[in-house]
Structure 1
Amino acid sequence: MPAPRRPLPPLNSTDLERYALRYVERYATTRAKLAAYLSRKLCERGWEGEKSPDPEALAERMAGLGYVDDRLYAESKAGAMARRGLGARRVREALRFAGVEEADAAALAPALAAEALASAIVFARRRRIGPYAREMADRALQEKQMAAMIRAGHAPGLARAIVRMAPGEDPETTFGGA
């Protein structure tokens, strides 16, 4: 039987900064996510420094140095989610969960609104809904497809219109271009 592992020593300010640098080096993140990560590390390892640690201040310092940019994170996350076919409501919730401030998320609202149709079409194509289905769905299946589109963050009216389209119909001409 292997020897039991020794517990890791408590963190000090140098260790905490090293953890922060390593995290921002490896992951695109927000200040809130970085502070949560550092807090988790402090709970796991403990603290041996003279004054109490401040993960939020360290996250702010990383942002001040340009290592963390919430607006850039929000733009890239929103773009990636829209390309996957997720709607504006789902994107806003993901950004809120990631700790992006309301001002940064609100700056993306016009771009999300402009991409609403395109992302709904991507979702429908991926899930073979409406114009991308092999055959016209019955009412029960249409309800399920519409629910899936709404859960993906698309507006109910847009979801209903896409679900009710006949297979092979061109959504770009129906909606006036994507």
Structure 2
Amino acid sequence: MSHSRVPSDRRKKPLDAARLDELALAYVARFATSRAKLTRYLARKVRESEWQGDADAMAACDAVADRMERLRFLDDRQYAAMRAGAMTRRGLGVRRVKAQLFVDGIADEDSGEAIAEAEERAMAAAVGFARRRRFGPFATRAADDPAQRERQVAAFVRAGHAPALARRILAIAPGDDAALAALDGEAALD
């Protein structure tokens, strides 16, 4: 039995402004997204298709994104708050939040409040990260190896936390309930 590969008969499907609008509507119905992410998605669809519209394809993408904003299906400020909140609850730090909002195409004026909120919750996010990874006070035994301690600090830094904050949390020995309670109080955790 021969397993030769049959050449694909995929032709570029025609795309016009109405179909582009349908694609955008389906995308915003399925995903929480920013204007920049929607525009990138639509531009990719245009590249993958054969454009049959009268207007320029990229201008049509922008017009569809404008329409989605007018209909309030897109709100970069609300998206930034949602995305930053989800990331801090997962234990990620302010630097990771800023980087992700930048990648998502959120402008500084739309991301300011979300970043400020992430900065206020930095300690709680770092404690949550340590709890999830079982570092510092949440470990089963103390990390006596300096190389292991530095790997843990590096994990905190990759998650977007400040190295000083990581070292402060890692300095608490497992089972030190008083220090952990003080840290929880500072992080305003329940």
Cα distance change, pair 5–94 in 1 and its aligned pair in 2 (3 A): same
Aligned residues: 178
Return the offset for 1:37: 0.3
2:12·2:50 contact (CA, 8 Å) conserved in 1?
no
Give the CA deviation at 1:9.
Answer: 2.8
Change (3 A) 1:15 1:145: same
Match of 1:14 in 2: 18
Tell me, yes or no, if the aligned pair for 1:31 and 1:56 is still in contact at 8 Å: no
Which of 85, 89, 96 is the aligned partner of 2:95?
Answer: 89
Paired with 2:183 and 2:129, the residues of 1 have a C-alpha distance of 17
**Where does residue 84 of structure 2 map in the other structure?**
78
155-164 or 118-127: bigger deviation:
155-164
Aligned residue among 16, 36, 42 for 1:38 = 42
- CA distance in structure 1 between the partners assigned to 2:46 and 2:11 by the alignment: 14
How far apart are residue 99 of structure 1 and its match? 0.8
Q: 1:56 to 1:176 in 2, by over 3 A?
A: same
Instruction: Tell me if structure 1 keeps the 8 A contact 2:84–2:115.
Output: no
Residues in 2 aligned to 1:3 and 1:155: alpha-carbon distance in whole angstroms: 52
- Choose from 111, 115, 126 the match for 2:117: 111
Give the whole-Å Cα distance in 2 for the aligned partners of 1:152 and 1:3. Answer: 44
Residues 176 and 6 of structure 1, relative CA distance in 2, 3 Å threshold: closer
Task: Among all aligned residue pairs of Structure 1 and Structure 2, give the percentage whose two residues are the same amino acid.
Answer: 46
- Matched residues in 1 for 2:134 and 2:74: separation? 38
Name the CA distance, whole Å, in 1 between partners of 2:69 and 2:168.
43
Indicate conservation of the 8 Å contact 1:142/1:164, yes or no. no
**Are the counterparts in 1 of residues 81 and 113 from structure 2 also a CA contact under 8 Å?**
no
TM-score (norm 2): 0.87
After TM superposition, the structure 1 stretch with the greater mean CA deviation from structure 2, 119-128 or 57-66, is 57-66
Change (3 A) 1:174 1:74: closer
Gaps of 5+ in 2: none
Q: Mark the CA change 1:50 to 1:104 in structure 2 (over 3 Å): closer, same or farther.
A: same
Q: Distance in 1 between matches of 2:69 and 2:23?
A: 15
Q: Which secondary structure does the structure 2 equivalent of 1:59 belong to?
A: helix
2:48, 2:10 → 1: CA distance?
14
Change (3 A) 1:115 1:25: same
* Aligned counterpart, 2:167: 160
Contact 2:94 2:161 in 1 (8 A): yes
CA distance in structure 2 between the aligned counterparts of 1:99 and 1:79, rounded to whole angstroms: 17
Q: TM (normalized to structure 1)?
A: 0.93
Structure 1: runs of 5 or more not aligned: none
Match of 2:186 in 1: 177
Give the aligned residue type for 1:90: R
**Residue 5 of structure 1: how far off its partner (Å):** 3.6
Secondary structure of the structure 2 residue equivalent to 1:85: coil
